[in-house]
Amino acid sequence: MTKINFAVDHQQSVFHNPFQNNELVTLPLEVRTDPLTGHQSVFNTALEGKAQILFPDTDYDYMAQRAEETVSTCFLCPEDWRSKTPAYPKEFIPEGILEHGQAALFPNLFPVAAYHTVIRLGDRHFRKLDELDPDLLADGFTVALDFVRRSFEYDPTMRYPTLNINYMLPAGASLMHPHMQILNSPTPSSHHQLLLDQSRRYKKENNTSYWTDLVNEEKASNQRYIGQTGDAHWLTAFSPTGYNEVQAIWPQKQNFLQFTEKDIRDLSRGLSHILKVMHSMKLSSFNFACFCAPLNEPDSDEPEFACFLRLVNRQNVLPHHRTDDYFFQKLLKNELILNPPEKLAEWMKENFPAS
C-alpha cells in the first residue's frame, strides 16, 4: 500500500465569458499538495500551453547585448581577477581562495550566512543554458564540497550547508558571469528546517525514509521520473515550488560529506542535460538549491533525510520582463503549474544521460 499521498483537489471556476458570446463556462482546476511539505500548486487547464504569455521566450539578442554592456564592470572577467577577490584568513584556508580546474571559490563581499562563498565558473562572462557543460559544473561542485568539508572541520557548528545558483538577472543574480554560491551556517534556512522537520515526522510515522519511498514510488509510476545518473534520481515535482521544477534525490547520501568524485560527475551530467532541455524550451534563467542533513548526524542505513536538489526556472531574459513572483507565490506561497509535471518529465527523459 502506498504511503505517500499525492493529493489532488478538483475544483471549478464558473463565469460568463465575453470572449465566448457571454456563455457560462466552467473551468476545471487541479490543486495539488506536496506530500511532504503541504506546499500547494494550481493547474488551470485553460492555462496549459499558455506559458508563452506568462513566460515569453528569451530574447537572445537582448541577452547578448546585456552581456556586452556588463563585461566592463564584471569583477570576475579581468585576467587579474585574483587580485580583486576577497580571501579567507590563512588559518582557515591557507591558500585564501580554493581553485579546481575552471572554478575558483572565495568569500562573498555581502554575506547572508557566516560562511557565504562565491564560485567563479570559468573565464567566459556569458553562457546560455546549453553552454554549462558537465566539466565546468563538476569543477564548481568540487570546490563547493571541498569548502563544505573545510568549513565544518574548522568550525563544527557549521552544520547546514546548501549549494545554490542564481542564474541570470531575473533569478536575482547581480552578475551575468556564471557563478555558484555556497552557504554554510549554524542554523538551517526556513525551508531547510521545514524539510528536516517533515522528513523526521514521516520517518517516525512510517519507519521508512520519505526520500527512499518517494524515489521508489515515482520510479514505479513512471509519470514524473526522468532517470538516474549514478546514485542521483531525477524527477519533476508533483507540486512544484516554481516554474518547471526539477528535483534530484540521493536516497543513500545523507549529507554532502558522503559525496564522491563520481557523485559530483553524476550530478553535473544530470544537471547539464536538464539545462540543455530548458535551453531548447527557450528558457534562460533559473534558481537552484541543494540541501543535506545536518553534518554531524550519525551515518545511518535508513536516514530520515537525503541530499535533495530543487531547480526552478525564473522569468526569461528579455527587456522589461514581468516578474514571476506575484501575490500568489510571494505571499500566499502557492505556485502555478503551466507545464504539467508529467509532460515536463517526458521532455526531460529524451536523451537523458542515464548511467
- Smallest gap from Cβ 63 to Zn ion, in A, equals 14
- Smallest gap from Cβ 121 to Zn ion, in A, equals 10
Whole-angstrom distance, CA of residue 186 vs CA of residue 98: 22
Which C-beta is closer to Zn ion: that of 75 or that of 328?
75
- Smallest gap from Cβ 77 to Zn ion, in A, equals 3
- For the chain, the farthest-separated pair of C-alpha atoms sits apart, in whole angstroms, at 74
Whole-angstrom distance, CA of residue 340 vs CA of residue 325: 19
Cα-atom radius of gyration of the chain, to the nearest Å? Answer: 21
- Smallest gap from Cβ 282 to Zn ion, in A, equals 23
Q: Residue 237: which of 32, 45, 51 has the closest Cα?
A: 32
- Binding mask of the shown chain, residues 169 to 198, with x at each position contacting Zn ion by CB under 5 A: --------x---------------------
Which C-beta is closer to Zn ion: that of 177 or that of 276?
177
Length of the chain: 355
Which C-beta is closer to Zn ion: that of 77 or that of 312?
77
As given in the structure block, the three cell numbers for residue 307 are 541530499
The partner residues of 309 in beta bridges, in order of sequence, read 248, 290
Is the CB of residue 308 less than 8 Å from the CB of residue 256? no
Q: Number of residues in contact with Zn ion, rule: CB under 5 A? A: 5
Whole-angstrom distance, CA of residue 211 vs CA of residue 203: 10
- Smallest gap from Cβ 276 to Zn ion, in A, equals 22
- Binding mask of the shown chain, residues 15 to 54, with x at each position contacting Zn ion by CB under 5 A: ----------------------------------------
Tell whether residue 349 is a contact of Zn ion (CB under 5 A).
no
Which C-beta is closer to Zn ion: that of 77 or that of 119?
77
Which C-beta is closer to Zn ion: that of 76 or that of 277?
76
Of 125-144, binders to Zn ion (CB under 5 A) are 125
Identify the residue among 74, 194, 257, 354 touching Zn ion (CB under 5 A). 74
Q: Residue 311: which of 268, 254, 271 has the closest Cα?
A: 271
- Provide the angle, in degrees to the nearest 10, between the axes of the packed helices 341-349 and 261-280: 110
Which C-beta is closer to Zn ion: that of 84 or that of 200?
84
- Provide the angle, in degrees to the nearest 10, between the axes of the packed helices 261-280 and 134-154: 130
Residues that bind Zn ion (CB under 5 A): 74, 76-77, 125, 177
